[in-house]
Structure 1
Amino acid sequence: MKISIPEPTLGQDMTLDPGVPLGSTLTEQGCHFRVHAPDSQQLFVALFGDNGQIIETFPMSRQPNGDWYLYIPSLQADSAYSFYQINPATQATQARQWLLDPHAHNVLQRHQFSHHQTSSEKITAGNDAPEWVSLTTRHHFDWQTRTHPETPLSNTVISEIHIKGYTRQHPAIPPEQRGTYLGLCHPAILADFKENNITCLQLMPIATKVDESHLKTKSLTNYWGYNPLAWSAPDRRFAIADPVKECKTMIRTLHAHGIEVILDVVYNHTAEEGDGGPIYHFKALDQQTYLHHQNGGLKNFTGCGNTVDLSHPPALEAVLQSLRHWVLNYQVDGFRFDLAATLGRQDDRFCKNAAFFRAINNDPVLSQVKLIAEPWDIGPNGYQLGHFPGHWHECNDTFRDTWRSYWLHRATNAEIASLLLGSQERFPAWNWPEKMSVNYICYHDGFTLQDLVSYGEKHNRDNGEDNRDGHPDNRSNNHGIEGQSNAPAIIKKREQQKRNLMTSLLFSFGIPHLLGADLHAHSQLGNNNAYCQDNAISWVNWEGQVQSGDFRQYCQSLLTLRQTIMPAFTQALSAQTQSVEIQWLDHRGANLSEQTWAENSPFACLIRIPCEESLMYIFNSGELPVRFALPDSHWRCLTDTADSRVLTKILRQTATYVRPHSMMILHRAPD
């Protein structure tokens, strides 16, 4: 992101140039500082030396719009700085109130300072020292002419990954790289992604976070990272030395292997919690960044104590600048927005034409990347599935819940039929690929796939909340024994249901989202809210590959078939000029009756692209095998979930047996 800004002279009247971004901006001649702080009476920039001591302070100049500005000539990259103001409540003692730059591109905590600098001395400024400092950052990086993979949405398979948890226990990765940015692009991990036909990683938050107050009192940490301190600074906990360089290296390497990177981003709240919570920056700089109760308190549409108000122009500018920063300086391919309904609120109402959505749509950079919404928050009318604007894809929890019910409990044929064809009541096919359902069975919040078939209840006592936390409606089934079991019959049931759920996900229309740990049959021991478990509960167990080998091979084969078969059918369903025949059949080959739609008896879906190819899904969630009539002969069976491996075979007869608790997918080409 090249900045072209006239360079003033330190000491002259500091009039803000309109091209100066928020935060610190390095040029060849010096560094510009800008922050929106209408609540401040005086604002200063402090610079720190190698030992963490203040070496110089500069007053900032207030602008008519509430911005503060400063230019320091000759300032170099990696210079440590912080904002501060004199706390009005303690002005008599001249105590500084330290404020982290909320727009910083690189940050250090106090105990990390001596490890970053060349000096071994620690900060020695006593109590008058900031907990966090920012570093001026230059974004020169050799991208080696790498370009974005630009995978079509019909071919996109998303795998949700936690950078630390995915690689922390991998035996082939050098110990110093495990759990880091560089670990995630290690050849052993790249081979894993390629084997599984993963085209896109959705990284759980990598922006710098802090732990909530209630976790600190229990000596726990926010492992997931949904408590952002600095939206634009890659978290140092995933770095060996330099988070900026190592994060870029990771993305460059993933792109070189055809893998896109989507960031899970949190712009709905900050780590400052609610009324009475910590003050890091916005609370002191600009209270209007937040929505307010009528009594002046902070509104809480996020469950985290505060809510960022993107109808407030400075807050909107801050978020847009952060998003552009990740795209331009880190080359990311898209974003998944946590609690995205909050971002579209005007006052208390969600609006698909809100300022944030309009700004994204009109931005020449941000309008070109993949955008995924978590389409709800906890505010009034917070559930907005299907109501986001065009070019936004949405996480579909109805897909998750209904497929779980169908295979593990009970759901009707009509309920899953809609999901199979892409939830078109909310995501019509004529809007594909611009707007599609993001389908998933498991996400980071909730049971893993292994636990979904192994536990009937959540087991979250390690979280220190007496098992009160976590979603109570999991629609799981332990198949006879709670938790791990060595009983062959129970293991067989569980493995078959895992295959049913994974096959239903990968061969439904939409964008499939996989929990990366599920491909390794990872168990969290029944914890369905492991947000504070930075330990083996959350870390993928790579040593367990022998036990999960059959399921891994099944998923790998299924993903290969999906990438081969599904794109053409997705294109056919979305095309306005091509007719596609869809039939719903019972086991005799007759059209489904009204009564059968309301049951969960065996049924089939037949999709024909005239003069081209056909795809047939056959479902039997019942206890008995069913002889199913086929409309034609000579089908290729892509998969039968009653088998532990994908064994494609030719069916030349006009009927086939479908075993209990299983599904088959058949394919027929003209030749």
Structure 2
Amino acid sequence: METLLTKKKQGAVVTDDGCYFSIHAPQINQIQLAIFNNDEPRFFDMKHTDGGAIHQCFIPNVTEDTQYSFCRKIKGSTQWLLDPCAKKVTRHPLCKKMLAAVTVKDQFDWQDVERPSIQRDETLIYELHAKGFSHLNRDLPEHLRGKFLGLCHPVMISHFKRTGVTTLQLMPIAASIDEAHLKSKKLTNFWGYNPVAWNAPDNRFAINDPVDELKTTVRELHREGIEVILDVVYNHTAESGEPGPVFHYKALDPLFYLHGYDGQFQNFTGCGNTIDLSHPPALKAVMDSLRYWVEEFKIDGFRFDLAATLGRRGECFDNAGGFFQTIYQDPVLSGIKLVAEPWDIGPDGYQLGHFPMGWLECNDKYRDTLRSYWHFNGQGLGEFATRIMGSRDIFSASVWPQKSSVNYITYHDGFTLQDLVSYQQKHNADNGEQNRDGHGDNRSCNHGVEGRTDNQSVVALRERQKRNLIASLLFSFGVPHLLAVDSLSHSQGGNNNAYCQDNNVSWPEWELDNNAKYFQTWMEAVISLRKQYMMPFIRAFSGAGRHTNRVEWLKQAGQPMEWQDWESERTIALHIGIGQDGNSLMILANPTADAASFSLLENQWELLLDTRQSSINKVAPKVVDNRFELIPHSMAILFQRGKAEHSL
């Protein structure tokens, strides 16, 4: 029977006796429910409630896996409307341009598997595309490649655990559609940042049932101690601007979208429309969606695409706005991981560091600084020092790890790591926009040859630069983010905006050449070194005890850096120590084309890694005396045990 709880939920709620349907549609006087049986619809009138804003009905004997749609009559024609709260979607039986919803009964055997609950400071994010990452992995059964279930197969779990990542960040997995301009070019929105149903896992990632298969995937990853966070798009929908298609909100409640002074949709997302979360029904829809993913799929957190949009009131950003306050007080959402892409393209759209307490933020300043330092002969030494120390000019160490930087070198948008060291220019001709799309400021370097080459000296330098960038990332303060395809040394052929390339441009090859094998093994070892050696420093330098530690910036001869040195020097030595006599780390960096000899002042340093080497000795670290030489374009990390450990 219907219950009060059921009546408060929008969309379709299956009970033991039938199904309750509800939709928010204040702009429509009369709306009907259509239930499809063998493509023949049965129509049901819906009753007005809540002052006419809510339309609802209860249909007995409706079970799960029933197709349905909402509709209204306009000038004698039927306008089909997709349930915006749909939990599963399928092709509309009567209208090829539309999708229909499918009822879902929320039940699943989680087998008492608990969430891993990885601490923020222990988190290592591994970003991947649910289809693309495993599509060419021939060690997987063919029917699982590119599917949700492929991600929890023992072959993939072995890869994740061997790599040492704690948290998978899945690129958008909610149902999305292709934009019109892509259809005309016979391309597809591979990345999925064009959502049409926020709550429905996309069918393209499933063998049969996307809901059950995604839940199974999350359960099995959790069983192995691996978290799952979703990249979510609540800043716009696939309805685009005024001339764009109508799927739901445009007809149901146009106030979902932010409007300008001329009555036109504001386009702060670059996608034609902008969700207005100062509109209470829009805020409710987003919050209901977030809770659904957490409660029914046990999702561990979210990365919010263009998150500045979510805090907008008109043209202004408010980090104390309704969206943030609602999450803060919500018992379901307040304890999960929240990651912001802290900008959009609207006015006052760059908000790095301005999100509320409890949010992690993707740090593009880190990305650009690290790229410039290693590719341009030590450019920006002072900012390099700031970024690897956790960007404390933006994220105070007093509140780490509750609010801290997500550090990254590469993300899904932009060059892969392999292309970052192999291409001077973007090569996006395959996207059909005359190479006009994609970021123009890549801070990349081809090291003498554009693209692939057999020149072994160029290849060796590229491999060393990859190691420099990843070693810097993994021994920086903050939460590291790795692009999963980088662990396979994947190249997109210089395409830095492969959003529409559902092909080998985006699918990494798993049969690796020797250089890729060496790099994969090396990266796994450095992640292990981070956990063993860097994590105690991250904890010691966070919060109230941060001022009790030692930090020294040194020149090659061992003298402290003076203010004028930050403009003239290119090499650097960072000495950090826990307390007054605890363990120490020394990070040496030489981004120049000349060798650099460093005076260490103290003896008995253990060499953890030297990027001149493509492998790491896992048996016993090499002991280094008071001098260490770096070859051109290389770095080293050394460790010294404190007095307390020596006395044990």
**SS across alignment from 2:541:** helix
**5+ residue gaps in structure 2?**
none
Give a deviation string over 1:510-562, Cα, whole Å, max 9, x none: 00000000000000000000000000000011123544111111101001001
2:96 is the alignment partner of 1:96 = no
1: CA distance, partners of 2:34 / 2:97: 10
2:420 is the alignment partner of 1:432 = no
Q: Which residue of 1 aligns with 2:91?
A: 109
Q: Which residue of 2 aligns with 1:120?
A: none
What amino acid maps onto 2:570 in structure 1? S
Q: Which residue of 2 aligns with 1:61?
A: 48
2:607 is the alignment partner of 1:617 = no
Which stretch of the first structure deviates more once superposed, 586-595 or 308-317? 586-595
TM-superposed CA distance for 1:650, in Å, is 2.8
Counterpart of 1:589 (choices 541, 558, 577) is 558
Counterpart of 1:46 (choices 34, 38, 50) is 34
Counterpart of 1:31 (choices 19, 30, 34) is 19
Contact 2:32 2:45 (C-alpha < 8 Å) held by counterparts: yes
Q: Which residue of 2 aligns with 1:598?
A: 567
**SS across alignment from 1:666:** strand
1: CA distance, partners of 2:47 / 2:142: 45
2:394 is the alignment partner of 1:402 = no
Matches within 5 A, 1:71-82: 71-82=58-69
Q: Which residue of 2 aligns with 1:544?
A: 512
Contact 1:600 1:621 (C-alpha < 8 Å) held by counterparts: no
2: CA distance, partners of 1:534 / 1:251: 24
**SS across alignment from 2:523:** helix
**SS across alignment from 1:576:** helix
1: CA distance, partners of 2:540 / 2:49: 59
Contact 1:20 1:32 (C-alpha < 8 Å) held by counterparts: no
What amino acid maps onto 2:559 in structure 1? A
TM-superposed CA distance for 1:651, in Å, is 2.6
Contact 1:148 1:260 (C-alpha < 8 Å) held by counterparts: yes
Q: Which residue of 2 aligns with 1:651?
A: 623
2:6 is the alignment partner of 1:6 = no
Contact 1:573 1:580 (C-alpha < 8 Å) held by counterparts: yes
Give a deviation string over 1:71-117, Cα, whole Å, max 9, x none: 22222111111000112xx2xxx21100000011111023xxxxxxx
1: CA distance, partners of 2:190 / 2:545: 49
TM-superposed CA distance for 1:599, in Å, is 3.0
Contact 2:423 2:494 (C-alpha < 8 Å) held by counterparts: yes
**SS across alignment from 1:314:** helix
Q: Which residue of 2 aligns with 1:423?
A: 391
Give a deviation string over 1:200-229, Cα, whole Å, max 9, x none: 000000000000111111111000000000
2: CA distance, partners of 1:593 / 1:284: 64
TM-superposed CA distance for 1:18, in Å, is 8.6
Give a deviation string over 1:557-604, Cα, whole Å, max 9, x none: 001001111221111111313501101111111110222112342211
Q: Which residue of 2 aligns with 1:352?
A: 319
Q: Which residue of 1 aligns with 2:422?
A: 454
Q: Which residue of 1 aligns with 2:119?
A: 152
% same residue: 48
Contact 2:6 2:20 (C-alpha < 8 Å) held by counterparts: no
2: CA distance, partners of 1:27 / 1:495: 58
**SS across alignment from 1:189:** helix
1: CA distance, partners of 2:342 / 2:335: 20
**5+ residue gaps in structure 1?**
8-16, 111-122
Contact 2:379 2:570 (C-alpha < 8 Å) held by counterparts: no
Which stretch of the first structure deviates more once superposed, 34-43 or 380-389? 34-43
Give a deviation string over 1:150-175, Cα, whole Å, max 9, x none: 11122111000101110100011111
Counterpart of 2:149 (choices 159, 162, 182) is 182
1: CA distance, partners of 2:393 / 2:7: 45
Q: Which residue of 2 aligns with 1:226?
A: 193
1: CA distance, partners of 2:450 / 2:39: 53
Q: Structure 2 length as normaliser, TM-score?
A: 0.96
Give a deviation string over 1:323-346, Cα, whole Å, max 9, x none: 000000000100000000000001
Give a deviation string over 1:480-499, Cα, whole Å, max 9, x none: 11100111001001000000
1: CA distance, partners of 2:136 / 2:380: 41
2: CA distance, partners of 1:102 / 1:642: 54
Contact 1:105 1:137 (C-alpha < 8 Å) held by counterparts: yes
1: CA distance, partners of 2:259 / 2:236: 13
Contact 2:31 2:72 (C-alpha < 8 Å) held by counterparts: yes
Which stretch of the first structure deviates more once superposed, 495-504 or 404-413? 404-413
Give a deviation string over 1:399-435, Cα, whole Å, max 9, x none: 0001000001142321101011100111111111100
2: CA distance, partners of 1:273 / 1:553: 44
Q: Which residue of 2 aligns with 1:663?
A: 635
Q: Which residue of 2 aligns with 1:113?
A: none
Q: Structure 1 length as normaliser, TM-score?
A: 0.93
TM-superposed CA distance for 1:504, in Å, is 0.7
**SS across alignment from 2:556:** coil
Q: Which residue of 2 aligns with 1:257?
A: 224
TM-superposed CA distance for 1:612, in Å, is 2.1
Counterpart of 2:598 (choices 623, 628, 645) is 628
Which stretch of the first structure deviates more once superposed, 573-582 or 235-244? 573-582
Q: Which residue of 1 aligns with 2:464?
A: 496
Contact 2:339 2:360 (C-alpha < 8 Å) held by counterparts: yes
2: CA distance, partners of 1:97 / 1:383: 39
Matches within 5 A, 1:509-524: 509-524=477-492
Contact 1:210 1:228 (C-alpha < 8 Å) held by counterparts: yes
Q: Which residue of 2 aligns with 1:119?
A: none
Counterpart of 2:252 (choices 275, 285, 288) is 285
1: CA distance, partners of 2:592 / 2:233: 42
Which stretch of the first structure deviates more once superposed, 658-667 or 302-311? 658-667
2: CA distance, partners of 1:356 / 1:131: 30
Aligned residues: 638
**SS across alignment from 2:271:** coil
2: CA distance, partners of 1:577 / 1:623: 39
2: CA distance, partners of 1:282 / 1:348: 21
Q: Which residue of 1 aligns with 2:262?
A: 295
2: CA distance, partners of 1:318 / 1:478: 46
2: CA distance, partners of 1:440 / 1:638: 22
Q: Which residue of 2 aligns with 1:116?
A: none
**SS across alignment from 1:544:** coil
TM-superposed CA distance for 1:140, in Å, is 0.8
Contact 1:411 1:600 (C-alpha < 8 Å) held by counterparts: no
2:608 is the alignment partner of 1:638 = yes
2: CA distance, partners of 1:82 / 1:19: 19
TM-superposed CA distance for 1:622, in Å, is 1.4
2: CA distance, partners of 1:130 / 1:218: 18
Counterpart of 2:524 (choices 556, 566, 582) is 556
2: CA distance, partners of 1:250 / 1:18: 28
TM-superposed CA distance for 1:619, in Å, is 1.0
